[in-house]
A and B are shown apart, each in its own frame.
Chain A
């Protein structure tokens, strides 16, 4: 009897103890509040009205490419090779953008794993030609992700522009677009020669920062990211490690020129790359920091001969605008050999990534196709976007902002622009199969 009592009581007690409302689950508390974005400082708040005036037309062309970085150069050459009359506008005095003027010397993501799990080269086409020419000049270290000499880069890119018949405008800033309904008739530019207009059938935004798409009224998101300033050191080969008091110091990485190293700078995070006052402040802070750092190096025994060769002429803005295009490339696309019927090229992988909670080492990462639609903004009929501001989800940023990818998107946009001119079509309606054939003829690997 007693045992039964005990058990009955225990069970009853248990049931009571459990009772209603004793369900065991940890529920979320309140929603996590998102970090509120800092409000942009709009300067003094005052405005003045610019008087309207007649602007001379500098040129009328088929294709106008704004920005002479890796994307812009590839785009201009690709367009010119379709037979289109092509102009290229660059605000500084060199081609190559951050790759050369920014002293960001490694051309990353040239290789990745294909469907047969073999590591192979994926960047061909105009980007591949550039790498090949630099290599044959002895100005590129290594086949995979080559590190180039910046002056050789500027030279080779300029030679290729010359050969293709692209009309080059240096020292010229694009300043505004000439909008008409859903098309842009051209772009206003500023230079020593004053303000002028270049009219074009198709415009390609390769400014990296998406200046053109912003003026064209396209939608985009702004990503605040690290900004840095790269510099180079000379006389690295004259460092004397046997000197008493010698200690190892961070002196960057080798370039194709003996005795010259390039020194990367990651720089502060969450920087606004579109605020010129911020850019100017950073420029000054960085220059001073670099100078002082090099002095510290020179005072270290053994390093006396090392000197600051140069700081980059372009401030290293990694990210700013990301356009909203017809398609947003996703991490999943790049991890699963996603095939696109409108693929314009394939890019590679240089970094290990996380996917679905698991690590995918860089040596096992698949190559990934880039669809044409991710270069086509939603509204404007004759605007294409290439380079680090094309349309992707931010989780992909380390792969999409990279020089190799910029070369691929540039090539695709240039060829498509040429085709749009030929077909007298809006860029969005370019015939996909003809684009594919054209790209294959131009040496692009489509996977």
Chain B
């Protein structure tokens, strides 16, 4: 019994929280609850809410944590953060006492402020550095397999933890934007409390504070103004239904891999295009083993950034992924073989079989007004005569 309690104390509530986060991040069929911890991060919440000027129900979790962080400084870091728990564990392993973060700049606070400023203009600049995003990126290979596309994403978490071996506390107190955000809002929390406390001795002097603010504001706004050009990918690729237009998608996507883990038919992969590093690791669709299932909207439910807009499955016929294209010369029917698969597989009735006058042939034809690019026809076509081409931007 005593052993158990001491074990419990050693693991602590944050350890349990880390275990829960890892379980929820693992591909165990959590459906809409997959990657729940992403929704707890107020940094992600504010970035997406400011950038998109809207929110979804699950954002309530982020608001709760935000409120808690106002009540108690760094509430999330203290009680929930699985990344911080790992950092502390790493630090305790090496017991390196002679390192101090004191002289180190508050990069995290700067990242938080400038990212939120940029979000107001629509570009959530540094949200991919959010610890929850890094944490979930790490789990992606479990379901999506290791690929060059997913590699950078799964390296973030180990890097942070390795850093803590040599520089204990550096990530949490100085680099992490989520930690930074909580520090930034702490003064508001003190204001709200009935007895306003004294200024935090660790906080910078008013002069530096002003410079801080100005620099982060200016940098965020400048970056956000420049970013649309730099962050916009030009080449379209197949993205989940309800995705933001391609020129905003790469900037909004967190690379958390939630949608990729969630997709029941496994069609989502980490995008890799050497010519466009900016869209590296965002989800893109490959119709190899499956297609976009008609009654499913899971990717949009688990997307914490809003890069994929939450949609009702019944609205799917208005959310094209792309448009089917048939190379007739490859079609089995052009060779008088028995086939009807593309048409039969289409729930949107977007393929018609049309008889060609003057020959014996009846060939499939895509009706562009009905086609949503769900990919059923591409997957089922035995000769790969059907391909989905990226179509008009979603919403």
Contact = CB atoms under 8 A, between A and B. Distances in A.
Interface of A: 1-4, 6-8, 10-11, 13-14, 17-18, 22-29, 32, 35, 225-226, 250, 252, 263-270, 286, 289-290, 292-293, 351-354, 356-359, 395, 397-398
Contact of B55 (A18, A32, A252, A286): A18
Contact of A351 (B217, B290, B334, B341): B341
A13 B359 CA distance: 67
B46 A14 contact: yes
Contact of A14 (B50, B292, B339): B50
B121 to A, nearest CB: 12
B85 to A, nearest CB: 27
B226 interface: no
Contact of A269 (B56, B311, B335, B353): B353
Contacts of A18: 49, 53-55
B343 A22 contact: no
Contacts of A225: 340
Q: Which of A25, A28, A270, A397 has the most CB of B within 10 A?
A: A25
A298 to B, nearest CB: 15
A265 B312 contact: no
A357 B210 CA distance: 56
A25 B352 contact: no
Contacts of B266: 358
A17 B116 CA distance: 14
A17 B312 CA distance: 23
B290 A266 contact: no
Interface of B: 46, 49-50, 52-57, 113, 116-117, 120, 184-185, 187-188, 191, 206, 209-210, 212-213, 217, 242, 264-266, 288-293, 296, 306, 309-312, 314-315, 317-319, 333-341, 343-345, 349, 352-355, 358-362, 376, 379-380, 382, 395
B336 A352 contact: no
Contact of A354 (B212, B315, B345): B345
A266 B314 contact: no
Given A3-B209, A14-B46, 13 more contacts: A4-B188, A8-B188, A11-B46, A26-B309, A26-B319, A28-B314, A226-B340, A250-B335, A266-B338, A267-B362, A268-B354, A356-B265, A356-B293
Given A27-B315, A266-B362, A293-B359, A22 B264 contact: no
Contacts of A266: 333, 336, 338-340, 353, 361-362
A7 B188 contact: yes
A417 B380 CA distance: 39
B146 to A, nearest CB: 22
Contact of A6 (B217, B290, B362): B217
A14 B50 CA distance: 6
Give the residue among B55, B337, B360, B362 with the most A Cβ atoms within 10 A. B360
B11 to A, nearest CB: 35
A263 B293 contact: no
A17 B395 contact: no
A311 B266 CA distance: 46
Contacts of A358: 265-266, 289-290
B353 A3 contact: no
Contact of B362 (A8, A250, A268, A354): A268
21 contacts: A4-B191, A7-B113, A7-B188, A10-B120, A11-B46, A14-B46, A22-B54, A23-B55, A23-B56, A24-B55, A24-B306, A26-B311, A27-B312, A29-B318, A35-B349, A226-B340, A226-B353, A265-B360, A352-B380, A357-B264, A395-B344
Nearest to B363: A266
Contact of B379 (A4, A27, A354): A354
A2 B184 CA distance: 12
A233 B39 CA distance: 67
Contacts of A250: 334-336
A136 B360 CA distance: 35
Nearest to A17: B53
A24 B59 CA distance: 11
A32 B317 contact: yes
B355 to A, nearest CB: 4
